[in-house]
Chains A and B, each alone.
Chain A
Amino acid sequence: MGGGDAHPLSQNTGREPAWSIEKKMSLKSERRGIHVDQSELLCKKGCGYYGNPAWQGFCSKCWREEYHKARQRQIQEDWELAERLQREEEEAFASSQSSQGAQSLTFSKFEEKKTNEKTRKVTTVKKFFSASSRAGSKKEIQEAKAPSPSINRQTSIETDRVTKEFIDFLKTFHKTGQEVYKQTKMFLEAMPYKRDLSIEEQSECTQDFYQNVAERLQTRGKVPPEKVEKMMDQIEKHIMTRLYKFVFCPETTDDEKKDLAIQKRIRALHWVTPQMLCVPVNEEIPEVSDMVVKAITDIIEMDSKRVPRDKLACITRCSKHIFNAIKITKNEPASADDFLPTLIYIVLKGNPPRLQSNIQYITRFCNPSRLMTGEDGYYFTNLCCAVAFIEKLDAQSLNLSQEDFDRYMSGQTSPRKQESESWSPEACLGVKQMYKNLDLLSQLNERQERIMTEAKKLEKDLIDWTDGIAKEVQDIVEKYPLEIKPPNQPLAAIDSENVENDKLPPPLQPQVYAG
């Protein structure tokens, strides 16, 4: 990286060294990218739960363990900053009261101060960095802390951006905008104290807040309904960007467990075909398969958004792509009878990350008016239905026999194999070859199993045989027991002959007689 002179990029741009451009590019793609790779989604610690890029790839639990302290400090800092801002704003408000009609000026002033604060904050973060890097002896501590401020900085950049947009938006409402800002700030300040409450209670607080603000806008601010809706969207965006990391998939709930359960379930159902679900979409048409891919991308992208409304927008986009796919296939507007099965198919195919957490988060923290009557709400309800269907799916719901269902679930056979002849005669050669190979493999498997059983039988035969022989021998031994009898008479006679040898006269020796 360091060889800036030799690098062509550095020559082209002249001033900037190559590595900085590369770094920027990688940062950009990192932020924009949709994380689809499973391994990237899992917690870095390998605990099996999902990780989150916002948590440096850890799951909520591991993240909390690792960076609890650093975060506490950050919260403290934020808190102090908020207090300071509050004081400044009040001062500004007081001065604007004295000189009426200078409200927009107040805002810009306030903004100026805010940017000052921001730069101050960044410098302290830098200081923090350099200080820790100098302390060479505390290497471990540095490693544990270093990623935390960088993340905080990244998220704070985003929240700052959102805050700026929010303020810009509120400016157009003059005095009402200011009041809304105050209410929002009060709410955000109160929320950290409610972190010990259950997530349902926190959700309740948020919903109450939405309702109060909307009512005030309508009755006191006399804001027309369309504008109230816009305002509510902005408020939701502002507060949920800040609250996201505390209330998305909190560890006090079993959201994470449910995420894993549905993920496993969808994996186990990989064999479900569009035909089983009666999906009215023909993926052989290139445009249709294009739409299907887009729909899957959208539903996966949902997880990367922080604001409930943005998540809903992903679901809506996904649904629109599904409708397009149906329209191209059937050439008529899609009804719910067409839509739901297709959505189920898309969810099964996409296996969107942290599905349950996302659904819970939207249910708890989305502005309710959007969720209950609007178009987004309809698609969201359908997604809930799809998830419920997948959870409860059984043989009957796919028009399969229980035996087939069990066999597919256990992975013994795949329905695709049987269908390869009937469904896709013009499937590409590779797929055909694959099915052929699969057939061969299953045949091989059968033969191997046969061999195994034969071998087992042989083994058993051998054992039986040796056992049989042993038993026979045993029988014979029992039948003809080995008795040590006293020496036999005739034998003894022979022996005694020898015993009494010495008593005998010496054998005749041939003697030579002369004569």
Chain B
Amino acid sequence: MAAAGGGAAAAAGRAYSFKVVLLGEGCVGKTSLVLRYCENKFNDKHITTLQASFLTKKLNIGGKRVNLAIWDTAGQERFHALGPIYYRDSNGAILVYDVTDEDSFQKVKNWVKELRKMLGNEICLCIVGNKIDLEKERHVSIQEAESYAESVGAKHYHTSAKQNKGIEELFLDLCKRMIETAQVDERAKGNGSSQAGAARRGVQIIDDEPQAQSGSGGCCSSG
């Protein structure tokens, strides 16, 4: 148990382990984003990685070691209800939309609502407008996106996986924020022992509760 429950790492010399979920409709470029970050490749025919759904990255931020586990999630509408199973116990969420696609931005709003409902303020949210290389075809206004992000306590970023813009900053910023949250947590809960106890339990299948909650959010796919 190198670091129980992600945030509860801390003490001298131990590394932080963070779980970050990647949310976003299909085709917004989630996969390209992580592949660019972890492999520094884009649409490359020579990508050797077998998959881009679970990737890890080791970082060193100001002497603090961080193990980042990036969980991709299925973005299709039909899998929307499964969200809570994915983002349980995650420390951060990256919500990706396509700046040329208004719909994908609306989807992000739904996810934000759900995440806040399920995980409260413990989770660091990043709203990411991808594909800024297609600036001419932009359909989501910068102002609208940024003011929305601020209103829900999230940070907004603009990225282009194709041109490798803004991605490094996005992840670095997120990691810093997650470390801060984890430190606050540890201080508040004293030594992190009780916190570890609470956050210790693994993934569980939740039967009805999240279903009902996502339903009340007005964005449930089940009719």
Contacts and interface: CB of A to CB of B under 8 A. Distances in A.
Interface of A: 207, 210-211, 214-215, 225, 228-229, 232, 278, 320, 323-324, 326-327, 331-341, 359, 363, 366-369, 371-375, 377-381, 384-385, 387-389, 392, 394, 396-399
A337 B50 contact: no
A333 B1 contact: no
Contacts of A336: 22, 30, 53, 71-75
A369 B2 contact: yes
B140 interface: no
30 contacts: A229-B1, A232-B1, A320-B50, A323-B50, A327-B51, A333-B50, A333-B51, A334-B51, A336-B22, A336-B30, A336-B53, A336-B71, A337-B30, A340-B79, A341-B74, A363-B204, A363-B205, A366-B202, A368-B5, A368-B200, A369-B1, A369-B3, A369-B4, A372-B6, A372-B19, A379-B54, A388-B205, A389-B78, A397-B78, A397-B222
Contact of B221 (A374, A378, A397): A397
B166 interface: no
B118 interface: no
Nearest to A207: B200
B86 A381 contact: yes
A378 B2 contact: no
A380 B203 contact: yes
A258 to B, nearest CB: 10
A211 B200 contact: yes
Contacts of B81: 388, 392
A336 B19 CA distance: 16
B75 A337 contact: yes
A389 B73 CA distance: 14
B85 A334 contact: no
B201 interface: yes
Pick from B1, B5, B86, B196 the residue with the most CB of A within 10 Å: B1
A332 B1 contact: no
B219 interface: no
B89 to A, nearest CB: 6
B134 to A, nearest CB: 20
Nearest to B210: A388
Given A369-B4, A372-B89, A385-B86, A363 B50 contact: no
Contact of B47 (A333, A368, A384, A399): A333
Interface in B175-223: 196-197, 200-205, 211, 221-223
A334 B223 contact: no
Contacts of A210: 1
A340 B35 CA distance: 18
Contacts of A384: 85, 203, 205
Given A384-B205, A396-B221, A228 B78 contact: no
Nearest to A226: B2
B85 A385 contact: yes
Contacts of B82: 340, 385, 388-389
Contacts of B139: none
Given A229-B2, A337-B74, A388 B52 contact: no
B74 A359 contact: no
Contact of B35 (A333, A339, A363, A371): A333
B18 to A, nearest CB: 8
Interface of B: 1-6, 14-15, 17, 19, 22, 26, 30-31, 35, 45, 47, 49-54, 56, 67, 69, 71-76, 78-79, 81-82, 85-86, 89, 196-197, 200-205, 211, 221-223
Contacts of B14: 225
Nearest to A333: B52
Contact of B49 (A215, A333, A363): A333
B203 A377 contact: yes
Among B4, B54, B222, the most chain A Cβ lie within 10 Å of the Cβ of B54
A385 B53 contact: no
A377 B202 contact: yes
A374 B54 CA distance: 9
A332 B202 contact: no
Given A210-B1, A211-B196, A335-B30, A381 B203 contact: yes
Query: For chain B, what secondary structure do more than half of its interface residues adopt (helix, strand, loop), or is it mixed?
Result: loop
Given A333-B51, A368-B1, 10 more contacts: A229-B1, A333-B35, A333-B49, A335-B31, A359-B205, A369-B2, A369-B3, A371-B202, A392-B211, A396-B222
A91 B97 CA distance: 67
Contacts of A399: 78
Contacts of B56: 375
A239 to B, nearest CB: 15
B79 A389 contact: yes
A339 to B, nearest CB: 5
Contacts of A327: 50-51
Contacts of B79: 340, 385, 389
Contacts of A388: 81-82, 85, 205
A398 to B, nearest CB: 8
**3 smallest A-B Cβ distances: which pairs?**
A371-B202, A336-B72, A214-B1
B6 A371 contact: no
Nearest to A356: B205
B161 to A, nearest CB: 13
Give the residue among A338, A339, A368 with the most B Cβ atoms within 10 A: A368
B2 A228 contact: yes
Nearest to A398: B78
Nearest to A331: B45
A103 B36 CA distance: 52
A339 B74 CA distance: 8
A189 B67 CA distance: 37
B202 to A, nearest CB: 4
B215 to A, nearest CB: 12
A229 B205 CA distance: 25
A392 B222 contact: yes
A371 B51 CA distance: 19
Contacts of A228: 1-2
Contacts of A333: 31, 35, 47, 49-52
Contacts of B76: 278, 337, 341
Contacts of A211: 1, 4, 196-197, 200
Nearest to B19: A373
Given A336-B73, A337-B26, A381-B86, A207 B201 contact: yes
A371 B49 CA distance: 23
A394 B223 contact: yes
Contacts of B31: 333, 335, 337
Interface centre among B15, B53, B71 (most CB of A within 10 A): B53
Contacts of A398: 78
